[in-house]
Amino acid sequence: MSSLTARRQPPAVPVSEPALSPLLRPARTAARYAVRHGLPARYLARAARRGDLVGRLLREPALRDHPYGLYEQVRAAGRLVPSALGLVTASHAVTQEVLRSDRFGVGWDRSHVPGLVGWALRFGDELDASGVAERPSMLVVDAPDHTRFRRLVSRAFTPRTTAAFEPMIRRTADELLDDLAVSAAGADGPVDLVDRFAAGLPVLVIAELLGVPTDRREDFLAWGAAAAATLDTGLPLRRYLAAERGLRAMHAFLREHFERLRRDPGDDLVSRLVGLPGEEALTERELHATVMLLLGAGFETTVNLLGNAVVALDAHRDQWDALRAEPAGWAGAVEEALRYDSPVQLTGRTARADVELAGQRVPAGTRVTLLLGAANRDPDVFADPARFDVTRHNARDHLAFSAGVHYCLGAGLARLEAEVALRALTERFPRLRVAGRPARRDLRTLRGFEVLPVSLG
Ligand code: HEM
């Protein structure tokens, strides 16, 4: 197979899934698709035609690859701007205030949504098709559940635990780079750095950290791509169905994995979660949501950081060379890559009560879309923000990992992986160049490359 063929094919051998009525499953899928994607897609397309900035951002194909011009239009319109999806902000200060405020939450109460939409939401709710941003994933629940889930897993992500993974990360990176050299030697043209390196490293690291079998790496990548797609709103039907197949396969794998660990627990985080005693025990659904989030978030974002960083560094060769000469600069370079082209471009919060924000009264229940990628280019915080500068003194003030109680649990791990990986890559292949047109992933919430052709020099 060519090294540039798309990665992440659905797994060849589906894992067994629990029996569901042959009629019920398609009906539930249809209900889920309609309320989560079909109707929002139409609504947003209509808003985009009216010129609504969020509608355009989420629907216009060209803005997927080049959102930064539109972000400046949002910024020019004000610090907090009405949109088809509530309010939207490109301001660093407003984004940070919302993320840190307990007057805003991630959850919204679906149980009272009236009429057909409410019914479809409830009817379509199914564990085996649920994605990483669906309840009870900690990403989308507020305290006290959020506090409970986060406490159970945070021990595996302390600075000390993370640092202990450095030798393993370096070893894995070196092995992948050995394979990359072999692929390049056997290829006629460029090799795909995403397929051969950037995607492989984070998935192997998180699998090792969670104690899930690393030999399922190709399956995880396929399932993770499905999980990543469902972070977006308004997917076309065919893409949604493919994503749902991936999610079902991932849940089926997790169910079998949990069973294995119940019979034969190991010394890993998932074994501990499966075996929690008494009142601490997680329900089956909580267990699936927690492990799926850790696994998916563990690699679907870091791959984007690596790809975005390589492309930015390739376009600023003097900085690449300076980092090779002075590797102490890598930590700052990773922060600048996170700021300049953020792997997670947007998130949102809902006002839990009537609040005052950016001089406006925001009624309870209002959704606020937070453009993290735009906040990270706010000229009030970052001088000349569209310039990539690995020596920028305050790059670390970015909000690429969010802020407040949902601040990325894996931020330390992602930073370490990126530092080790980029340093190893540039040491090993100092003349590596982007060779050909990189292709972006067809995603809006996440931003990264699907294919990144490089020559090793
Ligand atoms: C460059 C890589 C990464 C980026 C840019 C990133 C970004 C983010 C962001 C923006 C959020 C919060 C979203 C919000 O506030 O609505 C988040 C949450 C989270 N991230 Fe990451 N992440 C990365 C890597 C990782 C890794 C390696 C893990 C490891 C498991 C991880 C696990 C999590 C978890 C569990 C949450 C939910 C935290 C909570 O809700 O309390 N992330 N991440």
Q: By three-state DSSP, how is residue 415 classified?
A: helix
| Predicted local confidence at residue 226, as pLDDT | 86
Note the pTM of the prediction, 2 decimals.
Answer: 0.94
416: closest CA among 334, 347, 346?
Answer: 334
The DSSP result for 158-178, as a single string, is SHHHHHTTHHHHHHHHHHHHH
- Confirm if 325 and 426 have CB atoms less than 8 A apart: no
Relative to beta strand 86-89, strand 367-371 is: parallel
Gap between the Cα atoms of 315 and 390, Å rounded = 13
All residues at 6 or more sequence positions from 67 whose CB lies less than 8 Å from its CB, including other chains:
57, 345, 373, 374, 447
297 Cβ closer than 6 Å to some ligand 1 atom: yes
Q: Which atom of ligand 1 is nearest to the CA of 343?
A: 5
Ligand 1 centre to CA of 321 (Å) is: 30
The structure tokens 């050909």 sit at 436
Nearest CA to ligand 1 atom 25: 410
CB count within 10 Å of CB 34 equals 17
Q: What is the DSSP string of 49-87?
A: HHT-HHHHHHH-HHHHH--HHHHHHHHHH-SSEEETTEE
Distance 185 CA to ligand 1 centre (A): 36
Q: How far apart are CA 438 and CA 193, in angstroms?
A: 10
Helices then strands, counting H and E runs in the chain, come out as 21, 12
How much distance in Å is there from the Cα of 290 to the middle of ligand 1?
A: 12
Nearest CA to ligand 1 atom 27: 298
* Long-range Cβ contacts of 277-286 (<8 Å, 24+ apart): 280/152, 282/152, 284/127, 285/127, 285/130, 285/136, 286/136, 286/149
Say how many Å lie between the CA of residue 344 and the centre of ligand 1.
9
Calculate how far, in angstroms, residue 93's C-alpha sits from the geometric centre of ligand 1. Answer: 20
Q: Is the dihedral of CA 58, 139, 333, 309 positive or negative?
A: negative
Give nearest CA residue, ligand 1 atom 6.
401
Check pocket membership of 156 for ligand 1, CB cut-off 6 A. no
- In the reported structure, the alpha carbon of residue 224 is separated from the centroid of ligand 1 by a whole-number distance in angstroms of 14
CB 58 within 8 A of CB 64: no
Q: Name the residue with the closest Cα to ligand 1, atom 32.
A: 410
> Which atom number of ligand 1 is nearest to the Cα of residue 372?
10
- Comparing C-alpha atoms, which of 315, 343, 311 is closest to residue 448? 343
The two three-digit tokens of residue 323, written as one number: 């980092």
150 within ligand 1 shell (Cβ under 6 A): yes
Name the residue at shortest CA distance from atom 11 of ligand 1. 408
CB 439 within 8 A of CB 228: no
The reported pLDDT for the residue numbered 3 is 36
Is the CB of 323 inside a 6 Å radius of any atom of ligand 1? no
Q: Give residue 6's pLDDT.
A: 38
How many Cβ atoms sit within 10 Å of the Cβ of residue 397?
Answer: 15
Helices (H), 139-236: 145-154, 159-163, 166-186, 193, 200-210, 217-229
Residue to probe by mutation, ligand 1, list 301, 310, 413, most atoms within 8 Å of CB? 301
Q: How far apart are CA 385 and CA 378, in angstroms?
A: 7
What is the Å distance from ligand 1's center to 49 Cα? 33
Angle between helices 302-315 and 330-340 (to 10 degrees): 100
Residue nearest atom 17 in ligand 1 by C-alpha distance: 408
Measured between alpha carbons, how far is 194 from 130 in angstroms, rounded to an integer? 27
Atom 2, ligand 1: which residue's CA is nearest?
A: 302
> Mutate which of 142, 408, 420, 449 to test ligand 1's pocket (most atoms within 8 Å of Cβ)?
408
Domains of the chain: 24-455 (1.10.630.10)
Q: What is the pLDDT along the chain (457 residues), one digit of tens a residue?
A: 333 333 433 333 333 445 557 778 899 999 999 999 999 999 999 999 999 999 999 999 999 999 999 999 999 999 999 999 999 999 999 999 999 999 999 987 676 777 888 899 889 989 999 999 999 999 999 999 999 999 999 989 999 999 999 999 999 999 999 999 999 998 889 999 999 999 999 999 999 988 888 888 889 999 888 888 999 999 999 999 999 999 999 999 999 999 999 999 999 999 999 999 999 999 999 999 999 999 999 889 999 999 999 999 999 999 999 999 999 999 999 999 999 999 999 999 999 999 999 999 999 999 999 999 999 999 999 999 999 999 999 999 999 999 999 999 999 999 999 999 999 999 999 999 999 999 999 999 999 999 999 999 8
Taking the C-alpha atoms of residue 225 and residue 221, their distance in angstroms, rounded to an integer, is 6
Residue type, 422: L
Do 380 and 92 contact (CB within 8 A), yes or no? yes
